[in-house]
């Protein structure tokens, strides 16, 4: 297998790779001079987008947060280390335990007890905070995540069922403004169905795990995913595209509070203390 992926980088673009290229161009997601950091979970989505961006000739590096989910995390880390080495991509790792003294399961448990916050939202807040901080350290212009069409469709539906569609006003292929404070987050797989990415990853024979996150059991997102599995890809695309069309209207109606700085970590925040720090505080002072 040695050198296999490196050689394939020179082959012509397949259907999925062309689709990603078109999304990047249509939404102006990346400029040639940009330094791109791909947030790597080790799953099929982030692995595929790392590979496609490298193939499209962008300046990419990989960044993984070690969440300390036992052998699951170890295996994902080894897989990404190996792939990045073969593709001659710099690989960075941020260790949650070194940073906060605990793995994600412990943090989730304490936050659940203290703040009554559960599921993937805790993980999401913590990952976003670490990715933004690390990407700034690395001087990244953009952080890429592997969110796909199915993830976005779930988000639209979950926000609707929570009775608050305004929660989705930042769910776009490029989120947040580009500034010194934030590396912009971009999602080049935004309109690519999960099934298509799975097929792509299998065709490429990436040496990765396809199991779902062991922490995401019985969460709201998992239930929404199960419900949406009845829909075909065209239905999912309609839901996501229709929501994209109403976002400008929602933004006009919504009053945004000023952006402050978290008094603990200094990161941009809507409140005096950002969501991540308020979670870490309750972990540190149980
Ligand atoms: P998830 O929230 O697990 O569905 O992941 C969504 C995206 O977040 C993935 O496609 C990755 O780009 C990123 N991501 C998830 N877990 C990690 C991780 N441990 N380290 C870095 N990025 C991650
Ligand atoms: Zn903070």
> What residues flank ligand 1, with Cβ below 6 Å?
39-41, 45-46, 64-65, 67, 124, 127, 145-147, 213
Separation of CA 273 and ligand 2 centre (Å) = 5
Between CA 143 and CA 145 the distance in angstroms is: 7
Cα-trace Rg, the chain: 19
Residue 63's pLDDT is 98
Separation of CA 247 and ligand 2 centre (Å) = 27
Q: Which has the closest alpha carbon to 16: 193, 143, 172, 146?
A: 193
What residues of the chain score a pLDDT lower than 50? none
Separation of CA 123 and ligand 1 centre (Å) = 9
Tell me the whole-structure pTM to 2 decimals.
0.93
- Output the DSSP codes for the chain: -TTHHHHHTTSPP-HHHHHHHHHHHHTT---TT-EEEEE--SSHHHHHHHHHHHHTT-EEEEEEEE---HHHHHHHHHHHHHHHHHHT--EEEEEHHHHHSS-HHHHHHHHHHHH---THHHHHHHHHHHHHHHHHHTT-SEEE----HHHHHHHHHHHHHTT-GGGGTT-SSEES--SSS-PEEE-TTTTS-HHHHHHHHHHTT-----PPPTT-SS-HHHHHHHHHTTS-HHHHHHHHHHHHHHHHHHHHHPPPPPPEE-TTT--EESSSS-HHHHHHHHHH--
Residue 211's pLDDT is 83
* Residue whose CA lies nearest to ligand 1 atom number 22: 39
Residue 95's pLDDT is 93
Residue 284's pLDDT is 76
Ligand 1, from 84, 142, 146: best to mutate by most atoms within 8 Å of Cβ?
Answer: 146
Residue 20's pLDDT is 98
198-254 tens-digit pLDDT: 999 999 999 999 987 777 666 788 889 999 999 999 999 999 999 999 999 998 887
Name the maximum alpha-carbon separation found in the chain.
55
């Amino acid at each position: 297998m040695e050198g296999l992926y490196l050689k394939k980088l020179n082959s012509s673009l397949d259907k999925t790779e062309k689709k990603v290229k078109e999304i990047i161009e249509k939404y102006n997601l990346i400029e040639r001079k940009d330094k791109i950091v791909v947030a790597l979970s080790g799953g099929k989505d982030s692995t595929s987008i790392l590979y496609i961006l490298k193939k499209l000739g962008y300046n990419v590096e990989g960044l993984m947060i070690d969440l300390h989910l036992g052998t699951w995390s170890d295996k994902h880390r080894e897989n990404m280390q190996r792939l990045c080495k073969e593709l001659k991509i710099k690989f960075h790792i941020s260790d949650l335990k070194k940073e906060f003294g605990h793995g994600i399961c412990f943090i989730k448990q304490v936050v659940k007890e203290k703040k009554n916050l559960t599921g993937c939202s805790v993980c999401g807040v913590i990952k976003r905070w670490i990715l933004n901080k690390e990407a700034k350290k690395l001087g990244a212009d953009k952080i890429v995540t592997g969110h796909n069409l199915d993830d976005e469709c779930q988000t639209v539906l979950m926000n609707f069922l929570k009775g608050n569609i305004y929660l989705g006003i930042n769910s776009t292929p490029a989120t947040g403004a580009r500034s010194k404070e934030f590396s912009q987050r971009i999602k080049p797989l935004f309109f690519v169905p999960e099934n298509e990415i799975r097929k792509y990853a299998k065709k490429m024979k990436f040496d990765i795990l396809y199991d779902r996150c062991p922490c995401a059991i019985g969460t709201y997102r998992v239930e929404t995913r199960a419900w949406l599995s009845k829909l075909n890809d065209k239905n999912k695309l309609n839901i996501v595209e229709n929501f994209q069309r109403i976002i400008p209207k929602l933004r006009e109606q919504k009053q945004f509070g000023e952006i402050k700085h978290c008094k603990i970590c200094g990161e941009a925040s809507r409140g005096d203390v950002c969501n991540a720090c308020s979670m870490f505080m309750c972990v540190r002072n149980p």
